[in-house]
Structure 1
Amino acid sequence: MDVIVVGGGIAGLSSAWALVKRGHRVTLLEQGTVPNPLGASGDHHRIIRRAYGRGNGYGRLITEAYDAWDEVWADLEAVHHDHRGFMCLSREPGDEAEDYREGLEEGGWPFDLLGPEEAAARWPFLEPGTFRYAFVSPEGGALHCRRIAAGLAVWLQRRGAIVREGVRVAALDAERGEVILADGERLRADRIVVAAGAWVTKLFPDLAGRLTTYRTALAYLDPPADLGPAWGAAPVILDVGGGTDGYIIPPTGGGGLKVGTGLHKVASADADANRSPWPDEGRAILRHFAPPLARLDEYHVQSVVTCAYTFTADERFTAVERGRCLIVSSCSGHGYKFGAAVGRRVAEAVETGGHEGLLAWLEARAA
């Protein structure tokens, strides 16, 4: 089949990769560069981890995600995954970190439980009197997004796929299988995979009722010099407890120390709007991390990066079939880790012509 993939983020690149491996002729269209720094997949690094809440379903899907990433590493002849594990801090009974711990217990997956004094002694950037406990799991780390994107783009081109950058899609005719570009050029295919991330509602405005786009930002930090070695050896911090919904990724894969929080986001109807950092935005993000980070006033904000994400109400993936188009959307902030597995599942759905099985997998429904 001739397949057009719209979007060069991780879902689009992985779908193109899996389709090429199945023998299809693929053209990938990306409005920016690959990687695109404005896309949700375009930052230096993202978290991969086993932890999800009790009964969530995504924890068990990580096994398939790891298998898919191993297939990618074999094809790229490089591993873009830092297996440094992850840590959570619980600050209140029933907070998200505790929910993650209970999910690991439910699945029988490994972790070590540490008291605050022990954790702060091991990682002196933590303030011991500000959290109840920490737990550390070996099943996680950081994925190096830009290296993955660049590697997949090269792999695709070497295997005959067409990768077009700087090409904006203006509209789609789902019934005819036609893509209309902003300059008027028209492309046709047997199937179209739309993995346009936060831009998907520009192509399918009716999906705005199902998908909400948010503008958010994250900060890169320079820590105090004496804490640099501790951060360099630290696990990814998935959650800092309480209501912060905060994560921290230590320096790895060419990216520096990064902090972000789910509290720092605003709904935005246009993924292209308001993408410049606000005045003092980095410090505003950083303030959410006191507690549990010690000596917060000694950290320097190196840079602020804005992001655009789509979310569903239940924070799960979704898939929609329209004529010859298969639309895959809503990373809901946790989608990157499943990227390679999503690509394999999308390629299978393109071949079978139905999306119900894909949707059941994307929503992590019980088998």
Structure 2
Amino acid sequence: MRVTIVGAGIAGLSTAWSLSKQGHDITLIEQGSIPNPLAASGDRHRMIRRAYGDADGYARNIEEAFDSWDLLWNDLGVSHYANCGVLGISQFAGDGAEQFRTGLDRMGFEYERLEPLDAAARYPFLDPATFRYAYLDHDGGALFSERIARDMKAWLKMRGADIRMHTKVHAVDPNAASVQLENDEIVRADRLVVTAGAWTAQMFPALAENLMTYRNIVAYLEPPADLEDAWATAPAIVDIGGASDGYVLPPLDGIGLKFGAGVNKARTPDPEANRAAAPGEGDRLRRLFSPPFSRIDEYTVSEVKTCAYTFTADNRFFSKRIGNTLVVSACSGHGYKFGAAVGRRIAEALETNDDATLARWLRAETV
């Protein structure tokens, strides 16, 4: 079977990986480089975690995600994952961090609960007077996304995939499973898969009501010198508590300390608009982390990166078959952790034509 995949983020790369292993003829089209710094799958590292709040279906699916990453590491011959653990910090009753913890309880996942003074003794960047408790899940950590994309691209090339970077799709014929490129070339296949993230609605305007695009930023920070060692051995932080939806990835293997917050996201009709960070954006993000971090004004913003994500109204992954074309999108940045499993599930659906099972799995519904 000839399959064209539009979009070489983690879902597109993983779909190509899975289909190539099954012997299919793959053409992978990406409008930028691989990795693409503007894509939702871009940046240097991304979190993988078991904590999912009230989304128990996704918490159940995380084991399949870990298993799928292990299969990918076997094929690549190297693991791009750091199991540094995942910390949650609750500032007030019912905040996001507490919702994540109660989700762990419902799923029967084990974790270590820490009182404020104990947590601050272990992680000196915390101010124990500003939070109720913390908890540490020893499973989870960081996926090195840029390294994953580079190695998957190399693996696919060795397997004979036709990889077209810096190639923009001008039009799509979903029934014919063909795409017209900007140079008017027509690429034809038996099946077409579109995993273009925030650019999906540009190819399928009718899906704009299902897939809403938001802009957000992350910032890389340099901590005070006396806290560098504490951060070097810190876990990822799924939620700092409070109202910011703040999260952190610690400095790992040469990659810096990264802060992000869901509260920063803003709806945008164009995923390529305002992609240069505005003055002061990094500092505004930094200030969201006090509390629970102490001495936040002593942290220096070294880099700010923008990102564009696709969201759905019900916060679940999206899939839709249109003719001989399958359109798949994650919801928000949490799609990356499932990326390897998503590719395997898409490949299975293409071979079986079982769209219903794919949709239920993507939506984390009980089958």
Shorter-chain TM-score category?
Answer: over 0.9
Deviation at 1:353, TM superposition (A): 2.0
Look up the match of 1:112: 112
Separation in 2 of the partners of 1:171 and 1:330? 22
Aligned: 1:61 with 2:61: yes
Partner of 1:2: 2
Mapped pair 1:204 → 2:204: yes
Deviation track 1:147-206 (CA, whole Å, cap 9, x = no partner) reads 000010000010111111100011100111111111111100000110001000000011
Q: Conserved in 2, the CA contact under 8 Å of 1:82 and 1:142? A: yes
Q: Tell me the TM-score normalised to structure 2 length.
A: 0.99
- TM superposition shift of 1:211: 1.0
Where does residue 233 of structure 2 map in the other structure?
233
Q: Assess if the C-alpha contact under 8 Å between 1:142 and 1:249 holds in 2.
A: yes
Q: Distance in 2 between matches of 1:175 and 1:250?
A: 46
Check if 1:364 corresponds to 2:354: no
**Matches of residues 55-134 of structure 1 in structure 2 within 5 Å?**
56-134=56-134
Give the structure 2 partner of residue 298 of structure 1: 298
How does 1:149-168 map onto structure 2 within 5 Å? 149-168=149-168
Identity of aligned residues (%): 53
Match of 2:269 in 1: 269
Partner residue in 1 for 2:175: 175
Tell me whether 24-33 or 53-62 shows the greater mean CA deviation. 53-62
Shift, 1:265, TM fit: 1.2
Q: Could you say what the CA RMSD is over the residues aligned between the two structures, in angstroms? A: 0.9
Distance in 2 between the 1:173 and 1:366 partners? Answer: 33
Is the Cα–Cα contact under 8 Å of residues 211 and 330 in structure 1 kept in the other structure?
no
Task: Name the SS for the 2:87 alignment partner.
Answer: strand
Deviation at 1:253, TM superposition (A): 4.1
CA distance in 2, matches of 1:7, 1:254: 28
Task: Report SS of the residue matched to 1:359.
Answer: helix
- Specify the alignment match of 2:139 in structure 1: 139
Quote the Cα distance in structure 2 between the aligned partners of 1:279 and 1:305.
12
- Aligned equivalents of 2:53 and 2:248: distance in 1? 19
Give the secondary structure class of the aligned counterpart of 2:172: strand
Counterpart of 2:263 in 1: which secondary structure? coil
Q: What residue is the counterpart of 1:52 in the other structure?
A: 52
Q: Corresponding residue for 1:17?
A: 17
Distance (Å, rounded) in 2 between the aligned partners of 1:359 and 1:300: 43
Pairs within 5 Å for 1:278-289: 278-289=278-289
- Structure 1 range deviating more: 347-356 or 262-271: 347-356
Measured in 2, the distance between the counterparts of 1:192 and 1:103 equals 37
8 Å CA contact 1:54–1:106 kept in 2: the answer is no
Distance 1:40 1:229 in 2: 30
* SS across alignment from 2:227: helix
Other structure's SS at 1:334 match: helix
Secondary structure of 2:334's match? coil
Q: Partner amino acid for 2:45?
A: H
User: SS state of the match for residue 348, structure 1?
Assistant: helix
Partner of 2:322: 322
For 1:46-87, what per-residue CA distance to the aligned partner results, in whole angstroms no more than 9, with x for missing partners? 000001124531111010001100000000000000000100
Structure 1 runs of 4+ off > 3 angstroms?
Answer: none
CA contact (8 A) 2:197 2:310 kept: yes
Cα distance in 2 for partners of 1:43, 1:253 equals 15
Say whether the 8 Å CA contact 2:56–2:107 is kept in structure 1. no
Question: CA 1:254 to 1:16, structure 2 compared with 1: closer, same or farther past 3 Å?
Answer: farther
Aligned match of 2:29: 29
* In structure 2, distance between residues paired with 1:145 and 1:363: 23
Give the Cα–Cα distance (whole angstroms) in 2 for the partners of residues 337 and 253 of structure 1: 19
Deviates more, 1:312-321 or 1:70-79: 312-321
Structure-2 separation of matches of 1:82 and 1:55? 24
Partners of 1:44 and 1:253 within 8 A in 2: no
Distance 1:327 1:354 in 2: 14
Unmatched 5+ residue regions in structure 1? none
Q: Which amino acid aligns with 2:276?
A: S
How far, CA to CA, are the matches of 1:297 and 1:67 in structure 2?
A: 41
Gaps of 5+ in 2: none
